[in-house]
Amino acid sequence: MWMRTLEVLALVGAGTATGILVIGAVALVPCFRALPADRYVEVHQLLDRRIDPLMPILVALSAVLALVLTFAADSTSRSVLFAAGAALLVGVAAVSLSTAVPLLRRHVRQVDASNLPADWYDLRRPWQHWHLVRTLLAVGALFAIASASVAS
């Protein structure tokens, strides 16, 4: 019974994180590209206040649960799939911590949207690239965890 509970929690966490990233890739990225720089910074600052505290928790918790399930799985195939899910979620965290989040810290979070510096770096294109990478990793993680959960 506890194994199924962990599987559900891993699926819900990974699914929620993946859903947030997919919405970002499908809806927010085009919106960000269409906005003038000052509005882009303002909107991204507003979104990050809500998303930033949630995403690391969801990704880390789901990765830990998938790792626990790797060792508790009743078959090699399920174990491999849970391990793949955990590894892909670690990839999401690594991309976030090494590229996407530092870009935002330097060029969005610490600037005044109503008074952008003349040399403001427009990070939208590189941020969007790294956001897409972590989104694809999250989709792969969700697929692996879901596959492990239904495998016999």
Residue 1 confidence (pLDDT)? 84
Taking alpha carbons only, the member of 138, 125, 113, 94 closest to residue 48 is 113
End-to-end, the C-alpha distance of the chain in Å comes to 15
Q: How many domains does one find in the chain?
A: 1
Task: State CA 24 to chain mean position distance.
Answer: 10
Residue 127 confidence (pLDDT)? 95
User: For tokens 């859903």, what's the residue?
Assistant: 19
- Which tokens hold the place of 14? 């990974």
- Which helix H or strand E contains 111, and what residues bound it? none
Mean pLDDT of 7-35: 97
Mean pLDDT of 21-30: 96
Residue 116 confidence (pLDDT)? 94
- Which tokens hold the place of 136? 């694809």
**pLDDT tier at 32 (50, 70, 90 boundaries)?**
very high
- 94-129 per-position pLDDT tens digit: 999 999 999 999 999 999 999 999 999 999 999 999
Residue 50 confidence (pLDDT)? 87
- 59-102 per-position pLDDT tens digit: 999 999 999 999 999 999 999 999 999 999 999 999 999 999 99
- Which tokens hold the place of 98? 């090494």
Taking alpha carbons only, the member of 25, 146, 4, 27 closest to residue 92 is 25
Residue type, 52: D
- Domain ranges, residue 82: 2-150
- 12-22 per-position pLDDT tens digit: 999 999 999 99
Q: Where are the alpha helices (DSSP H) in the chain?
A: 2-23, 29-34, 37-72, 76-95, 101-104, 124-150
